[in-house]
Structure 1
Amino acid sequence: MIKYILGIDGGGTKTEAVILDIEGKVAGTGTAGGSNTNFISRREAAEAFKQAISGAFEAASVTAKDIGCAGCTFWTVANEVFDELRIPVQPKSFSEHAVAFERAGIEELRGIAIIAGTGSSCGGFSDGGQRFTVGGWGPLLGDEGSAYDIGLRGIKRALWSAEGRLPDTLLVDAVRSYFGIEHAKGAIGKLCDTKINQSLVAGFAMEVSKAAGMGDEAAIQIIEEAGEMLGEMAAFVARQIFTENDGFPVVLAGGVFNMGRLVLDPIRAVILPQFPKAKALIAKMKPGEAVARLAYKKCFGG
């Protein structure tokens, strides 16, 4: 008999595990650092999964043997960890775009999902079940409009301003404070390592958002341009599977959308002239909970 359902979602910055009871109520949650194997080793990702799952077990006062159904993103990592923790089920795998629809409370897998957290991607699902995705190429080759993109552009803008190439901006002081350095150029020593510290750069996006809230023109421009890029990505996907007369949801999932109208208005400005019946919806449910609820539906045929 199924007692508890486990869902675990891994991202570039955070990993979240959520346990539901048989009635679908959240019994416990655990979190850890990032677990995206595009940017960290399989071992590091597995450790993040184990930490998040163990935290959820403790919060819910359950053990591995109590789990009767489970779901995940990053299936290969989850499957390995489940074996190690002796969780007696195999996790069901879900795409981040399907998870986004669940987070927005949309039952039918039809429409567009824009993911903009540490990284970015966009996926679309047509009436006939056709799936079309773009993005997700990582910080070197893509991630347009993501927190990483916003953070990196904010840091660059601060450096150019500090050396006099561009007008002054609040981002210069933000860089000094964020990295704990005396001069903006000191950011080089914090960032130039053997590998990209994706989370560190993405974290600066919050500083860009704060500066924008204080009216800083450079920060405002960076966020608005991020919104335009996300809108263009979504419009491209929509053109592959919908017509201009179709109505469909555009699910917005990820921390970037917490920046509000500065990022949301440009997205709508790109999409709505091409697809007037499209409707943007913010995904509010936590991703780990959404994965658990998708697994719950699989187990109980919902």
Structure 2
Amino acid sequence: MCDRFSYAVGVNSEGERLTIGGWGSRLIEDGSEYYIGLSAIKAAISEYEMLGGRTQLTEAIKDKLKVKNLNELKYILYYKTLNDKKIQSLSKEVLKCARQGDRISLNIINSAADKLFNMADILIRRLNMYDKKYSLCLTGSIVCFDEYITNPLCDKIYNRYDNIEVFTHKIMVTKE
């Protein structure tokens, strides 16, 4: 299962349905593994060009993409075609680095959680889902980020809405 798409779907008590997101990775799916992987590449490039802080992601990306230095990344990006699945796979490197305390990796994951919350929040507000209890199911391989994405996302939902119950549906994640 690939999380190149992130989206939220809601149905209110009146039967009104709304979908937010799901436009595909070419438009940078906010909060998805693709978004996280692309953010990792940007962070590594920022460090390489001395525009951003030091991050363990630089070495992790070089190892994963099998490049000696980040300047080779230009070739992979534009001529060898770094595909969506490979970019998405870099999200696992972000999680590894975050678990080791890498500040930039943690910021990327926090940003993803914020973007997922924003989608859910907009959906709840646009569908006026205040009249009764609703369930919010988090699914996809992004829930494997547990305490890094799922927990902050749930906290944000519970802090804003007392009528929304959040649960997760973990899926089997296939090997690359």
TM-score calculated relative to the size of structure 2: 0.89
Query: Conserved in 1, the CA contact under 8 Å of 2:37 and 2:88?
Result: yes
Q: Is 1:280 aligned with 2:166?
A: yes
Q: CA deviation at 1:273?
A: 3.0
- 1:139 corresponds in structure 2 to 25
Cα gap change, 1:142 to 1:285, in 2 (>3 Å): closer
1:234-253 pair list within 5 angstroms: 234-244=120-130, 246-253=132-139
Match of 1:274, as an amino acid?
Answer: R
Paired positions, count: 173
SS at match of 1:155: helix
1:1-302 pair list within 5 angstroms: 13=2, 117-193=3-79, 197-244=83-130, 246-284=132-170
Match of 2:29, as an amino acid?
Answer: D
Cα gap change, 1:268 to 1:184, in 2 (>3 Å): same
Query: Conserved in 2, the CA contact under 8 Å of 1:248 and 1:278?
Result: yes
Map Cα deviations across residues 12-53 of structure 1 (whole Å, 9 max, x no partner): x4xxxxxxxxxxxxxxxxxxxxxxxxxxxxxxxxxxxxxxxx
Q: Tell me the distance in 1 between the aligned counterparts of 2:82 and 2:48.
A: 23
Q: CA deviation at 1:279?
A: 1.5
Q: Tell me the distance in 2 between the aligned counterparts of 1:193 and 1:238.
A: 42
SS at match of 2:27: coil
Q: For the pair shown, which has the larger CA radius of gyration, 1 or 2? A: 1
- 1:81 corresponds in structure 2 to none
Match of 2:152, as an amino acid?
Answer: P
Q: Tell me the distance in 2 between the aligned counterparts of 1:119 and 1:151.
A: 13
Q: Which runs of 5+ in 1 are unaligned?
A: 1-10, 14-116, 288-302
Query: Conserved in 1, the CA contact under 8 Å of 2:6 and 2:29?
Result: yes
Structure of higher RCO (CA pairs closer than 8 Å, 6+ residues apart): 2
Query: Conserved in 2, the CA contact under 8 Å of 1:118 and 1:198?
Result: yes
Query: Conserved in 2, the CA contact under 8 Å of 1:121 and 1:136?
Result: yes
RMSD: 2.0
SS at match of 2:138: strand
Q: Tell me the distance in 2 between the aligned counterparts of 1:205 and 1:286.
A: 16
Match of 1:249, as an amino acid?
Answer: S
Query: Conserved in 2, the CA contact under 8 Å of 1:120 and 1:143?
Result: yes
- 1:106 corresponds in structure 2 to none
Q: Tell me the distance in 1 between the aligned counterparts of 2:172 and 2:91.
A: 20
Map Cα deviations across residues 114-154 of structure 1 (whole Å, 9 max, x no partner): xxx22211100122322110101112324100010000001
